[in-house]
Amino acid sequence: MDTTNIHIVEEPEKQLAMHPRKFSMWLFIVTVVMIFAALTSAYIVRQAEGNWREYELPLSLWINSGIIILSSATMHWAYLSAKKDNLEMVKVAISSTTFLGVLFLIGQMWAWNVLVSNEVYFTGGNPSESFLYVLTGLHGAHLVSAIIYLFIVLFATFRYQVHSKNLAKIEMCATYWHFLDILWLYLFIFLLLNH
Within residues 145-184, the interface with another protein by CB under 8 A covers 145-146, 148-149, 152, 156, 161, 166, 168-169, 172
Residues in contact with 27: Cβ distance below 8 Å, sequence separation at least 6, in sequence order:
none
Cβ 59 to another protein shortest distance, Å? 25
Size of the residue set binding another protein (CB under 8 A): 60
Give the span between the Cα atoms of 39 and 53, in whole angstroms: 18
Secondary structure percentages of the chain, helix, strand, coil, to 5:
75, 0, 25
Give the residue with the Cβ less far from another protein, 8 or 59: 8
DSSP assignment string, 38-72:
HHHHHHHHHHHTS-----PPPTHHHHHHHHHHHHH
- One of 60, 86, 95, 130 touching another protein (CB under 8 A): 130
Cβ 152 to another protein shortest distance, Å? 5
β-pair partners for 166: 163
Which run of H or E residues covers position 182? helix 168-194
78 makes contact with another protein (CB under 8 A): no
Give the span between the Cα atoms of 43 and 59, in whole angstroms: 21
- One of 54, 124, 160, 193 touching another protein (CB under 8 A): 124
Residues forming the site for another protein (CB under 8 A)? 5-16, 18, 20-21, 23-25, 27-28, 30-32, 34-35, 37-39, 42, 45-46, 49, 51-53, 122-128, 130-131, 134, 138, 141-142, 144-146, 148-149, 152, 156, 161, 166, 168-169, 172
